[in-house]
Structure 1
Amino acid sequence: MRKSTALEIFGLTAGALALVVAVGQANASSKSSKGAKPVAAVAQQRYAVDMWWNIGGDMGGLRKATDACVKKLGEAERPTLVSPPPSTTILTKPMLDCLEAEGWRPAGEPRPV
């Protein structure tokens, strides 16, 4: 196997795992906040992404990029995780654009949900 191919596969796998961990933590923390008031949601088109990649990305890179985008766009834009495995991330177009600006790309075309 070429060295660059192995690094690309590692980066893709690491990114996917980081996303699973980040979204799982976000879902767990949102379930544990009992008195939280619902946020008014604007009906936006949502997209499904099965896997993310970033050449040179590491385990925490996607989580950091997601947190940075949530900070810019607001907590209502935080992606959600659909399970059982394989896990799929559901996110809005502004979040998708923000993650792409941070260097993360969906592996394949995002599917409208």
Structure 2
Amino acid sequence: MRKTMALDILGLTAGALALVVAVGQANASSKSHKAQAAAPIAKQRYAVDMWWNIGGDMGGLKKATDACVKKLGESERPTLVSPPPSTTILSKPMLDCLEAQGWRPAGEPRPV
């Protein structure tokens, strides 16, 4: 039982770190943040503090996020709010897509 719990904790930690890296890279490579803020936001957005996936690794969340962005469009890419603890802001379609790929928020996503 202890080994399983340790692996779950390790997977949760790895998923959270992968998300921070993925969103940080996405924000750095995206166009100006001001241009994104100027666009009207018609969809409900959600805040997620941490992700988990049993057996997930550091690159797994980034790969899942990139696949969902490819499917849904660049406008659906999650944004990272800092300072730590980092929070990911994403739309319901992106949340659903990540969940379909096995990534779950640790706790309930909060409406923003």
Q: Say whether the fold is shared (TM-score over 0.5).
A: yes
Matched ranges for 1:21-60 at <5 A: 21-31=21-31, 43-60=42-59
Q: 1:38 to 1:45 in 2, by over 3 A?
A: closer
Q: Is the 8 A contact 1:39 1:76 kept in 2?
A: no
Q: Which segments of 5 or more consecutive residues in structure 2 lack a partner in the other structure?
A: none
SS across alignment from 1:48: strand
- Deviation string for 1:31-50 (max 9, x for gaps)? 57xxx899965510000000
TM-score, normalising length: structure 2: 0.91
State the match for 1:9 in structure 2. Answer: 9
Matched ranges for 1:60-71 at <5 A: 60-71=59-70
Q: 1:41 to 1:102 in 2, by over 3 A?
A: farther
Query: Shift of the alpha carbon at 1:94?
Result: 0.2
TM-score, normalising length: structure 1: 0.90
CA RMSD of aligned residues (A): 2.1
Moved more, 12-21 or 41-50: 41-50
Q: 1:46 to 1:2 in 2, by over 3 A?
A: same
CA–CA separation in structure 2 for the residues paired with 1:93 and 1:39: 20
Q: Is the 8 A contact 1:41 1:76 kept in 2?
A: no
Matched ranges for 1:91-110 at <5 A: 91-110=90-109
Q: Which segments of 5 or more consecutive residues in structure 1 lack a partner in the other structure?
A: none
